């Protein structure tokens, strides 16, 4: 009799535990804190190693916030990063290109912080295969990008999505990177893959995830911005750089989308398909903020799933002191890079200031152009200010100063352009840079009122290209197409519209970034690669540094190869607009 009772008890227990309709009891309520950082750009420590100054935000402060968050055992935590961490500060440059044998500093730091997943960004791809392929093996968490697809088999190069179980809540995080990478980066940096349109990729993977995973929550972790009109694009343009909100509006299944790439604050609900509201958030950049969603999940027996409620906030990391244990753990790494940036490169006998480059001819951009001409042996060079307010003072120049002179890890191309293409390139640059003045009271620069009501530049200053190697003038009172007059080559020779010239240009521009070569010069995007004669194998900053080390003492030349006209109008406008743009500096 006892034996029979034990048998019945075993069978009953088996049915209760394993019968599909009789699962273990779900918790009625579960709290999960979902945290996102994005576009950290090397801000691992509370020090700007370029400006040699302290900062009040970095992953060291995020470490403090996360430690406090995890101390609350009444909630679960999901910690995500949205890409572009591998560029911006010497501390990551050092791991990318100088000490490539040791474990990467980002692997050390992000593993320490216990990130759950990350999406790769375009500036992470910019570091090259050797860097990000190595990091895939060093990270203790998946690096994702569903739309970065292998050419040989059509499968994602990185992990497409990751599944998490947080207290019984099933969460899927789908990673997608901006598809604009081929417009900005040389193909060797992303060889073996291509980048699908975000909406196309999101539709496929959201449907796949619903069918195969059936999660309680679907999160998009998209290294892409929110303004799909950026760069004069429309919602119908394929491969839109900033399609995150478009995905929220058009693709069923998403509950929450974290964005990045554009360094813009965003925290709003978007109308998605079938009347559903989709929360979209962006934590800006440099670990100044963390996007935090206090998510509450209530069990719904009718649907056999959890219903989610969100309380979203952007948390200012300057409120949190750097975590002492974090700082102690990585003190040696920080010390090594500090010694690296203190290394002397040369001596400047004249000061360079990028602020003047926003308003026209400048010694700052001219110096970059002159370096590019000498490094490549080209006849003409194009360059833009890559920093809004960088200053390189007289005296000893260190490695840290080279990051002020040249912010990004662009390669240097030598390309073939006709004289007409050079002229049209300049017209395009000038049109995005300067307005058409009808009188002396008009604005010189193209300005617009931003979301905060502040008057600011309409277009990014890193697209304000000026040229060296030619003598030219710009008449801002004339319409687009008639503003630029090229008078001659700087060596005294005649400039000819029908002649082919060797042009020095960075890889971002040479691959179509900014539109100068495609929309401006009129060269089809698929023809750009054929115009490249040669390329450096390392970043331009490296070659600039070696050039300066070789020269020793440097006296940057005064600019005199181009002018803005009418001179009186321009002078008055610059005085007004300097107060508008730089009053807070």
Q: In 3D, which of 114, 95, 94, 113 has the Cα closest to residue 103?
A: 95
pLDDT of 16 > 60? The answer is no
- Residue carrying structure tokens 């519209």: 497
255 lies in some domain: yes
Same domain, 256 and 290: yes
Q: In 3D, which of 508, 406, 459, 522 has the Cα closest to residue 181?
A: 508
Mean pLDDT on 552-566: 92
Q: What total number of domains does the chain contain?
A: 2
pLDDT category of residue 4 using cuts at 50, 70 and 90: very low
Same domain, 457 and 521: yes
Domain CATH for 432: 3.90.780.10
- Residue carrying structure tokens 């200031």: 353
Query: What is the rounded radius of gyration, in angstroms, for the C-alpha atoms of the chain?
Result: 27
pLDDT of 499 > 60? The answer is yes
**Burial of 443 per CB tally in 10 Å (0-12, 13-18, 19+):** middle
Q: What angle do CA 292, 295, 296 make, to 5 degrees?
A: 160
How large is the angle between the packed helices 540-551 and 363-376, nearest 10 degrees?
A: 90
Domain span at residue 50?
24-337
pLDDT of 422 > 70? The answer is yes
Paired sense of beta strands 395-398 and 412-418, if any = unpaired
Q: What angle do CA 231, 235, 239 make, to 5 degrees?
A: 70
pLDDT tens-place string over residues 319-352: 999 999 999 999 999 999 999 999 999 999 999 9
- Residue carrying structure tokens 């009109």: 229
Mean pLDDT on 111-118: 98
> What's the chain's average pLDDT?
93
- Lookup: tokens for 581: 């743009």
pLDDT tens-place string over residues 143-197: 999 999 999 999 999 999 999 999 999 999 999 999 999 999 999 999 999 999 9
Paired sense of beta strands 169-177 and 500-506, if any = unpaired
pLDDT of 15 > 90? The answer is no
Q: In 3D, which of 353, 414, 416 has the Cα closest to residue 385?
A: 353
Same domain, 64 and 193: yes
pLDDT of 123 > 80? The answer is yes
Domain stops at, among 321, 337, 353: 337
pLDDT tens-place string over residues 220-242: 999 999 999 988 899 999 999 99
Mean pLDDT on 311-315: 98
Could you tell me if residue 379 is left (phi over 0), alpha (psi between -120 and 50 degrees) or otherwise beta? alpha
Same domain, 305 and 376: no
pLDDT tens-place string over residues 47-89: 999 999 999 999 999 999 999 999 999 999 999 999 999 999 9
Q: In 3D, which of 263, 83, 92, 266 has the Cα closest to residue 178?
A: 83
* pLDDT value for 253: 96
2 lies in some domain: no
* pLDDT value for 6: 40
Domain stops at, among 337, 370, 401: 337
486 lies in some domain: yes
Percent of the chain past pLDDT 90, that is, above it, reads 89
Q: Are 40 and 84 in contact (CB under 8 A)?
A: yes
> Distance between the two ends of the chain, CA-based, in angstroms?
89
Q: Are 440 and 432 in contact (CB under 8 A)?
A: no
Same domain, 291 and 384: no
Q: What are the residues facing 457 on neighbouring strands?
A: 447
- Rounded CA-CA distance 181/193 in Å is 11
Q: In 3D, which of 353, 412, 415, 358 has the Cα closest to residue 545?
A: 412
213: helix, strand or coil: coil
- Rounded CA-CA distance 165/175 in Å is 17
Mention every residue, 6+ apart, whose C-beta is less than 8 A from residue 245.
Answer: 226, 227, 228, 259, 270, 280
CA distances 175 to 81, 117, 260, Å, are 10, 9, 12
545 lies in some domain: yes
147 lies in some domain: yes
Same domain, 303 and 350: no
The phi and psi torsions of 450 (rounded to 5 degrees) equal -80, -175
Burial 517-541 (b: 16+ CB within 10 A, else e): bbbbbebeeeebeebbeeebeebbb
- Residue carrying structure tokens 């190869």: 561
248 lies in some domain: yes
- Lookup: tokens for 25: 């009891």
Same domain, 246 and 330: yes
Domain CATH for 79: 3.60.21.10
Q: What are the residues facing 488 on neighbouring strands?
A: 471
179 lies in some domain: yes
Q: Are 193 and 150 in contact (CB under 8 A)?
A: yes
* pLDDT value for 25: 56
Same domain, 405 and 294: no
* pLDDT value for 33: 98
Which helix (H) or strand (E) segment holds residue 392: the answer is strand 391-392
3-state helix/strand/coil string of 437-459: CCCCCCCCECEEECCCCCEEECC
Same domain, 327 and 347: no
Same domain, 316 and 373: no
Mean pLDDT on 557-572: 94
* pLDDT value for 584: 55
Same domain, 247 and 349: no
Same domain, 349 and 316: no
pLDDT category of residue 486 using cuts at 50, 70 and 90: very high
Mean pLDDT on 297-318: 93
pLDDT category of residue 13 using cuts at 50, 70 and 90: very low
Mention every residue, 6+ apart, whose C-beta is less than 8 A from residue 223.
Answer: 38, 82, 83, 84, 119, 120, 121, 122, 145, 175, 176, 177, 178, 260, 261
pLDDT of 110 > 50? The answer is yes
Number of H helices, E strands in the chain: 18, 31
Domain stops at, among 337, 356, 386: 337
- Rounded CA-CA distance 293/78 in Å is 10
451 lies in some domain: yes
- Check the CA dihedral 186-193-161-210 and report its sign: positive
């Amino acid at each position: 009799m006892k034996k029979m009772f034990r048998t019945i008890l075993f069978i009953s227990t088996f049915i209760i535990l394993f019968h599909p309709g009789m699962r273990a009891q779900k918790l009625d309520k579960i709290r999960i804190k979902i945290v996102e950082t994005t576009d950290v750009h090397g801000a691992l420590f509370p020090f700007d190693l370029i400006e040699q100054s302290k900062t009040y935000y970095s992953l060291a402060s995020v470490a403090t916030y996360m430690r406090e968050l995890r101390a609350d055992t009444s909630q679960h935590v999901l910690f995500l990063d949205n890409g572009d961490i591998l560029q911006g500060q010497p501390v990551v440059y050092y791991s990318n290109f100088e000490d490539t044998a040791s474990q990467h500093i980002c692997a050390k730091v992000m593993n320490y912080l216990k990130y759950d997943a990350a999406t790769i960004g375009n500036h992470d791809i910019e570091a090259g295969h050797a860097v990000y392929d190595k990091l895939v093996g060093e990270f203790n968490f998946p690096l994702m990008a569903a739309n970065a697809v292998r050419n040989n088999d059509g499968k994602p190069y990185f992990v497409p999505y990751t599944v998490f179980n947080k207290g019984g809540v099933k969460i899927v995080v789908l990673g997608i990177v901006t598809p604009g990478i081929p417009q900005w980066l040389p193909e060797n940096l992303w060889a073996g893959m291509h980048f699908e349109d975000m909406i196309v990729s999101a539709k496929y993977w959201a449907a796949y995830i619903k069918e195969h995973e059936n999660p309680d929550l679907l999160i998009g972790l998209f290294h892409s911005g929110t303004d799909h009109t950026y760069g004069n694009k429309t919602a119908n343009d394929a491969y839109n750089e900033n399609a995150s909100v478009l995905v929220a509006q058009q693709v069923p299944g998403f509950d929450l989308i974290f964005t990045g790439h554009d360094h813009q604050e965003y925290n709003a609900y978007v109308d998605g398909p079938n009347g559903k509201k989709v929360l979209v958030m962006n934590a800006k950049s440099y670990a100044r903020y963390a996007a935090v969603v206090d998510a509450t999940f209530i069990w719904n027996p009718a649907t056999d799933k959890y219903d989610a409620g969100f309380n979203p906030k952007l948390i200012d990391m300057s409120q949190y002191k750097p975590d002492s244990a974090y700082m102690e753990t990585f003190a040696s790494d920080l010390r090594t890079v500090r010694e690296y940036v203190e290394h002397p490169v040369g001596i400047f006998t004249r000061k360079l200031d990028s602020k003047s480059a926003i308003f026209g001819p400048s010694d700052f951009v001219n110096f970059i152009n002159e370096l590019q001409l000498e490094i490549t042996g080209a006849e003409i060079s194009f360059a833009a200010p890559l920093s809004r307010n960088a200053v390189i003072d007289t005296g000893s120049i260190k490695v840290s100063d080279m990051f002020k002179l040249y912010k990004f890890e662009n390669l240097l191309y030598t390309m073939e352009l006709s004289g007409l293409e050079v002229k049209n390139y300049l017209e395009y640059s000038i049109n995005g840079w300067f307005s058409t003045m009808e009188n002396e009271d008009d604005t010189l620069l193209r300005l617009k009122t931003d979301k905060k009501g502040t008057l600011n530049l309409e277009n990014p200053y890193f697209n304000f290209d000026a040229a060296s190697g030619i003598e030219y003038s710009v008449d801002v009172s004339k319409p687009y197409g008639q503003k630029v007059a090229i008078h001659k080559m700087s060596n005294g020779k005649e400039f000819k519209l029908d002649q082919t010239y060797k042009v020095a240009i960075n890889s971002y521009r040479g691959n179509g970034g900014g539109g100068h070569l495609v929309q401006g010069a009129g060269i089809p995007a698929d023809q750009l690669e054929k115009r490249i004669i040669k390329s450096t194998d390392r970043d331009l900053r490296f070659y600039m540094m070696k050039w300066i080390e070789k020269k020793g003492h440097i006296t940057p030349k005064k600019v005199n190869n181009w002018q803005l006209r009418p001179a009186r109008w321009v002078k008055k406008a610059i005085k007004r607009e300097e107060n508008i743009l730089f009053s807070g500096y």
